[in-house]
Amino acid sequence: MNVDFDPSLEAFREEVCAFLDTAPTDAIREAGRKTTSVFAPFEATMEWHRLLYARGWAAPAWPVEYGGTGWSLEQRYIFSEEHWKRDLPPLLPNGLIMVGPLLMELGTPEQKRQHLPGILSGKDYWTQGYSEPSAGSDLAALSCSALADGDDYIINGQKTWTTLAHKANKMFMLVRTNRDGKKQQGITFLLLDRTDYPGMHIRPIIGLDGVAEQCEVFFDNVRVPQGGRVGAENEGWSVAKALLKHERGGAAHSPAIRRKLDAIRAAARDATASFGGPLSEDPVFQRDLGELEAEVASFEHVEKLVLSGHALADDPAMPSLNKVMSSELSQLLSIMMTRVAGIDALPLQLEALEVGSGVQPLGDPFSLVAMPYYLNTRAASIYAGSNEVQRDLISRNLQTLRA
Amino acid sequence: MNVDFDPSLEAFREEVCAFLDTAPTDAIREAGRKTTSVFAPFEATMEWHRLLYARGWAAPAWPVEYGGTGWSLEQRYIFSEEHWKRDLPPLLPNGLIMVGPLLMELGTPEQKRQHLPGILSGKDYWTQGYSEPSAGSDLAALSCSALADGDDYIINGQKTWTTLAHKANKMFMLVRTNRDGKKQQGITFLLLDRTDYPGMHIRPIIGLDGVAEQCEVFFDNVRVPQGGRVGAENEGWSVAKALLKHERGGAAHSPAIRRKLDAIRAAARDATASFGGPLSEDPVFQRDLGELEAEVASFEHVEKLVLSGHALADDPAMPSLNKVMSSELSQLLSIMMTRVAGIDALPLQLEALEVGSGVQPLGDPFSLVAMPYYLNTRAASIYAGSNEVQRDLISRNLQTLRA
Amino acid sequence: MNFEFSDEQVMLRDSLSRLLDQRYAFELRRRIMAGQAETGIWSELVDMGIVAMPLPEACGGLGGSASDIVAISELFGRHLVIEPLLPSVILTGRALARFDPAGPVPQWIADIGTGALRGAFAHEEGSGTGASSTLSTKLYEGEAGPRIRGSKKLVLGGGEAGVLLISALSETKAVCLAAVPADAEGIEVRRYRALDGRPVADILLHDVAVDRAAIMAGADAALEALLADARLALAAEAVGAMAVLMATTADFAGTREQFGRPIGSFQAIAHRLADMKIAYVKARASLLYIAALADSGRATSRDISVLKAQVGRLGREIAQGAVQIHGGIGMTDELPVGHYLKHILTIDGLFGNTDYHLREIGRVVAAA
Amino acid sequence: MNFEFSDEQVMLRDSLSRLLDQRYAFELRRRIMAGQAETGIWSELVDMGIVAMPLPEACGGLGGSASDIVAISELFGRHLVIEPLLPSVILTGRALARFDPAGPVPQWIADIGTGALRGAFAHEEGSGTGASSTLSTKLYEGEAGPRIRGSKKLVLGGGEAGVLLISALSETKAVCLAAVPADAEGIEVRRYRALDGRPVADILLHDVAVDRAAIMAGADAALEALLADARLALAAEAVGAMAVLMATTADFAGTREQFGRPIGSFQAIAHRLADMKIAYVKARASLLYIAALADSGRATSRDISVLKAQVGRLGREIAQGAVQIHGGIGMTDELPVGHYLKHILTIDGLFGNTDYHLREIGRVVAAA
């Protein structure tokens, strides 16, 4: 990982910049500025996905034979940095980082042929059906059932926290196909090639931030083809673990986090401290910014070492370490954002936040997104394995190593 | 608790001040300035105890019939405030706050006659023999045994964290008299009227701060009279709980904590910030001082409500809440002390710390004690029921109340 | 003195609790805020005497003390009440009662006390209500009498008020308070809602004529008293919200199961609950003690800053803990948890946030 | 580039580890520090080439890079080594190598490299080594040549040094470095030990005559390089200490039983261990990455400040956690735990503490 050491990468950086400076439409840029979640505003982001696909850059991390770019680690890092620097909306991760790589590893030739092109091109959006009301951190307790019936499964039950299900045309999910034995057994991994099967009902859930990002999905005798199964029946837990590996081994978080800090620094130069003068010149702000900068820097160092194949990359706790570090850093940054926005973070401005609404925010664009981002980011320590569960794993691993 | 509301208390305050301003010897004042622990330097503190006894003020919290002062809660609070304001050494708590009140409640007439006068007058110092190497937070796991033999017990085993045992002439301890049943059963509470019984061996332990405050005590067939037993045999756990009630229901911690903050404020006016100017005028220091002040104030408010008989006093979790709050506040204050002392906290100055050594410190008296106090205070979240155990109790109580 | 509420205060709180349980339950409140239901709660508050309570007896009020205001406001916080008792009565009404009773002022106070008129206090100018010497709104002598010029932000109840109480500096930089009818020429109002649903407004004052009888010059002390009332009442609301979050989260942790047992039996959750309890005990003790100090005229601005800073910081700790322990459903608009978080964050931003007050405390005590 | 130590560095570390395991074990070290045992470790370090390593090849050294210094210093931290490699060689020797080779300077460097002479760097003046423009030590032109006047505190190895390297301002406020023999007239040395046992001294300079050939004028860059070396080496020591605390505490938590099970199985302890691991991973990654930047000449003063601040803050977190998890015995002088805590706290205080560096970072990045 020579990104800070190899000047020869600058030509590549210029090529990337040239495209990113010109290709996005106004709506795409607006969506980027109004991104207050891991999930950027849907329509404009899918449009950007399709533009990147046309340029051949939709899936830098994919192998070339599946449509990847063939870029080096350093090039991918630079692309991500420049993408974030321009506040462009990050592509939705479910297809590119989760389902796609999983199918490359475990999908049948037919599944690959059927699904990879739509993921790559931005035609399809896959929602994730994992959690249930009684199976959150304890995912293995899931009970939504699939009963084999001829060439089909018949699904009954409920999923929740299915992100953007109301916008999705595809769904991947875990279902229970056997209730005997350990609860991790008897789970099956299914792909649904439609989200409008008879008996499926999708209900959006309004979040703390006022936005309908999550959904509940209800299944009432929903008949789906068994051809959507990935891996063997009752072996879905290990399929999910394989997927998790792709999800976590994926892109670096540093460029996104660095960009948030840059936005904070810029906003602080325009903000007035409560005791007068620019906030950026306030010693108390500087100290707290210094601490954030140090934390961001250390996180970058960890990620760059891991990407470089340093021994840290082999630490089995690294996915958990990365999850805890990145989520809690995002939360710290979100708190700092609301602090810099000050009272301008307090107006409720849901309309101004909508892409294309044409409603002007009361304050500046930074203050508009600060509070929704803070609220949305409270979830970062909850989803994808709560940070309590991650700390259990980190500690267990540490004590096992030592024992 | 009208201490902040009743101006008529000022005459009493003046009486207290007059004595505290004149009575202590130079050695006592030096011991107060060099107090870096809950336990002030032994000899001078015991001397101060005897002077207060002569004035009739050794045990303000005791009932008048046992030698107490008959002061109101407010008067006791004021005495404590003025005592702390002058950096006088706090009297050692084991006799006055622990053994004395316990004997008043559960001691035999003979035990009271034998032990209370020496506690009150400052003739005796009682060390506490509770913890063992394998019984710390899990005190009930203690194994130091006492076997009844005629009118005696024969003690075998080991105690540790027996504070100032090498200075003590008395000891109270928990011993195991029965190994059957639940581990809280079969424990007996014993008073030892000497610490030099044949077979007793006391070994001081040097602490992080370089001071021998704690000791190990080894018992090798030590024969002590059964007359020292408080309560029934095998009922020592409930005796210890009764003692704990006295220990925790005792004096307010606020005046000591407030005094630490005052010392910090004064030192900051003389200290130079690393970016120049007096530390007291540095905005970053001011913010952090403001947070400490707010925390100290809230803690004072809690204690004053509790002393006043507000419903808070009836919360069964209050002893644990108070322990966690006061210990962690002391730790925060100790960190701030080292921060204000800056590099002057770094010289190792064990001789200068000794009362009567005549060795001048390299820096000022505040910097001399900052680091030893910080190091000693790391124990505050460990001893007397670790803060982990206290949080368990607080939470269990909360969830029980709600369930 | 044991810092408990008096028997009268307890009775009033009991009545108010019953009213709010019936007429301001969470689901009903959501419909009210969405414009899908009406509430006659304001007139009930008038009938119960709560609206008149904070005003001095000489003005037809009940002479409510600081602890009376705390007793009521704490329940408002528990029930997420956003009725305009604070801006209209506790702030504008009580402040007007300190004016010389002349011109329109006595009638305004009377109408505020009956609930017929609403007042609002326009003070914030954008960076969090710092020292009053930094106000940029100007009260100046125009050709036909005094006028006021400036802009105010995040004015609680500013869009519904009939009379606006405005802080400003005179041409000699003296702190003034001036009251004007909200429909006076030159007043431009931009209505919106704050994060927690409170109706607020930005108010532009384009050289608005002010009745000389409705000006208090040399208003430093009055403004400080006003801000102390605001901070005390908001702190009480925050503590009320914290109490609900504590109780709700402890309940939830005791019943929600994951990995085959209640999540509250996991030490990480248990200890976070313990920390929330510690935070709550500190905040509530400071509220009650400082209210008692205020009742006896002994509360300093340091005390008030301690209270505002503590509820800001400890409230955030409790609310964030509550969301985390609730997990996914704590992230939804459908549960009260998030509404309390937003209530607490909004309160923190009003009349000086945690950071401002901590620094103010530090500045004062470092020099003392 | 994967930020691992090179094969040569790994071999050197293996040899050094073996030496320290044998000749600097904890109990032996305690006896050495108490004056109850002798160690020939310094001559062993000379023989192994470690003393000469940090010096440029042109001066008879091995041309050690930043990461070479880190590779060694990290092991020093693991073993609580307080031998004067840092003050004598890494600071004084390397800085002298930047002087014009004239007068006594070349011989001093040569003798430092053979371990025959010890140097010390006298810089701290009392409030934590702020900006060099605030130095109060003066280098001035006396009647018979240059002289230096001032006082320095907490000089590492200052009591044992034969040559002192002193930072000062000239009469025109230019930053200078000056080297003088420690026995020069007018030098007063007060020896003591720092918290972690390092021999240190306060040094008073009473108009000490300086050889003109041993002065570097316009030494801003040299001083910054010197401070960067100091901070990098100390950070490496801190990370070494953190590694031992991590491992020891995880071991202890896995074996120490309370309530019938290993304390590491309690989630409160387990999560604290997890936080210690997170802290360690961050600190070590920053150490290795910034050492690599330094090797390639790309480390900025911001990078160095990030590293020093992180090891200060994260080191304290780990050390305090280690003491707490060890419980009572963690509070004794008999276990290494407390010694590591004191090592980490001492390191934090040297050449700018956490607070100083965080503010320095913030100042730079807020303006950027």
Instruction: For residue A343, tell me if it sits in a domain.
Output: yes
- Please list every residue in chain A whose beta carbon sits closer than 8 Å to the beta carbon of residue C334: 205-206
- Which domain covers residue A145, as residue numbers? 126-234
Hey, what CATH topology would domain C7-114 get?
Butyryl-Coa Dehydrogenase, subunit A; domain 1 (1.10.540)
User: Pick the catalytic residue: A82, A235, A247, A300?
Assistant: A247
Q: Which residue of A has its CA nearest to C323?
A: A378
Identify all chain B residues contacting D134, using CB atoms and an 8 Å cutoff.
276
- Tens of pLDDT, residue by residue over D267-325, are 999 999 999 999 999 999 999 999 999 999 999 999 999 999 999 999 999 999 999 99
- Could you tell me if A265 and A395 lie in one domain? yes
What are A109-158's pLDDT values in tens digits?
999 999 999 999 999 999 999 999 999 989 999 999 999 999 999 999 99
Strand partners, B272: B278
pLDDT in tens, D19-69: 999 999 998 888 888 878 877 899 999 999 999 999 999 999 999 999 999
For chain A, the residues whose C-beta falls within 8 A of a C-beta of chain B are 275, 282-284, 287
Interface test with chain A among D306, D308, D316, D348, by most A beta carbons within 10 Å? D306
| SS3 assignment for chain C | CCCCCCHHHHHHHHHHHHHHHHHCCHHHHHHHHCCCCCCCHHHHHHHCCCCCCCCCHHHCCCCCCHHHHHHHHHHHHHCCCCCCHHHHHHHHHHHHCCCCCCCCHHHHHHHHHCCCCCEEEECCCCCCCCCHHHCCCEEEEECCEEEEEEEEEEEECCCCCCEEEEEEECCCCCEEEEEEECCCCCEEEEEEEECCCCEEEEEEEEEEECCHHHEECCCHHHHHHHHHHHHHHHHHHHHHHHHHHHHHHHHHHHHCEECCEEHHHCHHHHHHHHHHHHHHHHHHHHHHHHHHHHHCCCCCHHHHHHHHHHHHHHHHHHHHHHHHHHHHHHHECCCHHHHHHHHHHHHHHCCCCHHHHHHHHHHHHHHC
Q: Do A287 and D358 touch (CB under 8 A)?
A: yes
Which of B211, B284, B388 is most worth mutating to test chain D (most D CB atoms within 10 A of its CB)? B388
Chains touching B (3+ CB pairs < 8 Å): A, C, D
Mutate to test the interface with D, among C267, C269, C273, C324 (most CBs of D within 10 A): C267
- The answer to whether residue A3 sits within a structural domain is no
d(CA C197, nearest CA chain D) in Å: 34
pLDDT at B403 over 60: no
Nearest to C332 among A206, A272, A391 (CB): A206
Subunit contact B402:C247, Cβ cutoff 8 A: yes
User: Do the Cβ atoms of D3 and A308 come within 8 Å?
Assistant: yes
Distance from CA of D199 to the nearest CA of B (A): 10
Burial class (CB in 10 A: 0-12, 13-18, 19+), B212: middle
Chain C residues within 8 A of B310 when measuring between CB atoms = 2-4, 288
Chain segment D312-341, per-residue pLDDT in tens: 999 999 999 999 999 999 999 999 999 999
Distances (CA, A) of C157 to A396, C87, C135, C154, C200: 54, 6, 21, 9, 5
Give the residue from B274, B287, B288, B374 with the most D CB atoms within 10 Å of its CB, the best one to mutate: B274
Same domain, B225 and B262: no
Decide which of A173, A207, A234 is a domain's last residue.
A234
* B283 and B382 part of one domain: yes
Distances (CA, A) of A23 to A27, A376, D105: 11, 29, 62
Min Cα distance B359 → chain D (Å) is 13
Say if residue A206 is in the same domain as residue A268.
Answer: no
pLDDT at D367 over 80: yes
What's the confidence (pLDDT) of residue C209?
Answer: 98
The pLDDT value recorded for residue B250 is: 62
In this structure, the answer to whether residues A394 and A307 fall within a common structural domain is yes
Q: Helices C267-295 and B387-402: crossing angle, nearest 10°?
A: 80
ipTM of the complex: 0.96
Q: How many Å lie between the alpha carbon of A52 and the closest alpha carbon of chain C?
A: 33
CB contact under 8 A, B286 and C303: no
pLDDT at C36: 83
Nearest CA in chain B to C290: B301
CATH of the domain at A320: 1.20.140.10
Which of D202, D327, D352 is closest, CB to CB, to B137?
D327
Q: Which of C3, C271, C302 sits opposite B391 (nearest CB)?
A: C271
Q: Which of B82, B213, B235, B247 is catalytic?
A: B247
Same domain, B163 and B53: no
Q: What are the chain C neighbours of D267 within 8 Å (beta carbons)?
A: 266-268
Residue C129 clears pLDDT 80, i.e. is over it: no
**Kind and range of the H or E run holding B204:** strand B200-206
pLDDT band at A250 (very low <50, low <70, confident <90, very high): low
Does a structural domain hold residue B360? yes
Whether B63 and B190 map to the same domain: the answer is no
- Domain locations along chain C: 7-114, 119-218, 221-367
In the predicted model, what is the mean pLDDT of residues C300-318? 98
- Statement to judge: residues A325 and A266 lie in one domain: yes
The average confidence (pLDDT) of chain C is 96
End-to-end CA distance of chain B: 33
D207-262 pLDDT, tens digit each: 999 999 999 999 999 999 999 999 999 999 999 999 999 999 999 999 999 999 99
Evaluate whether residue A98 is within a structural domain.
Answer: no
Residue D39 has a pLDDT of 75
- Quote the CA–CA distance of B181 and B186 in Å, as a whole number: 8
Cα D257–Cα D263–Cα D265 angle in degrees, nearest 5? 120
Closest CA to B288 of B320, B335, B327: B335
Distance from CA of B346 to the nearest CA of A (A): 23
Which chain D residue has the Cα nearest residue C266? D267
Last residue of a domain, one of B205, B234, B263: B234
Contacts of D355 in chain A (CB under 8 A): 287
Query: Is 80 exceeded by the pLDDT of residue B248?
Result: no
Spell out the residues 6+ positions from residue B159 whose beta carbon is closer than 8 angstroms to its own.
B129, B130, B131, B132, B144, B173, B216, B217, B219
Q: Domain D119-218 classified CATH 2.40.110.10?
A: yes
Half-sphere exposure of residue A172, counting CA atoms within 13 Å on the CB side? Answer: 23
Q: Which residue of B has its CA nearest to A287?
A: B284
**Chain A with chain B: Cβ pairs closer than 8 A:** 10
Comparing CB atoms, the residue among A207, A346, A382 nearest residue C327 is: A382
Domain of A169, CATH number, reads 2.40.110.10
Chain B residue with CA closest to C4: the answer is B310
Q: Which residues of B touch A282 (CB under 8 A)?
A: 283
Please report the pLDDT score of residue A402 as a whole number.
57
pLDDT in tens, B335-364: 999 999 999 999 999 999 999 999 999 999
Pair (B265, B383) in one structural domain: yes
Residue A357 in any domain: the answer is: yes
Q: Do D127 and B391 touch (CB under 8 A)?
A: no
Interface A-C, measured as beta-carbon pairs within 8 A, has a size of 120
Domains contained in chain A, number: 3
Q: Which residues of B touch C246 (CB under 8 A)?
A: 398
Q: Does residue B240 lie in a domain region?
A: no
Residue with tokens 């040239």: A18
> Of B160, B210, B273, which is closest to D127 when you measure between CB atoms?
B273
CATH topology of domain C221-367: Butyryl-CoA Dehydrogenase, subunit A; domain 3 (1.20.140)
Inter-chain residue contact D195 with B371, CB threshold 8 Å: yes
- The reply to whether A105 falls in a domain is no
Taking CA–CA distances from A388, the nearest residue in chain D reads D271
> Over 70: is that where the pLDDT of A401 sits?
no
Cβ–Cβ below 8 Å for A284 and B283: yes
d(CA B291, CA C153): 28
Cβ neighbours of C41 (radius 10 Å): 19
The residue among C3, C287, C318 with the most chain B CBs within 10 A of its CB, best to mutate, is C3
| Domain boundary, last residue among B203, B234, B265 | B234
Q: Which residues of C touch B332 (CB under 8 A)?
A: none
C332 and A208 in contact by Cβ < 8 A?
Answer: yes
Largest Cα–Cα separation, chain B:
73
What is the length of chain C? 368
**Residue ranges of E strands in A182-267:** 187-192, 200-206, 212-225, 229-230
pLDDT given at position C131:
82
* Tens digits of residue pLDDT in D158-206: 999 999 999 999 999 999 999 999 999 999 999 999 999 999 999 999 9
Measured between CB atoms, which of A275, A338, A381 is closest to C130?
A: A275
Residue labelled with tokens 């009251």: C179
User: Does A317 sit within 8 Å of D362, measured CB to CB?
Assistant: no
Asked if A247 is an active-site residue, the reply is yes
- List, for residues B10-62, the tens digit of each pLDDT value: 999 999 999 999 999 999 999 999 999 999 999 999 999 999 999 999 999 99
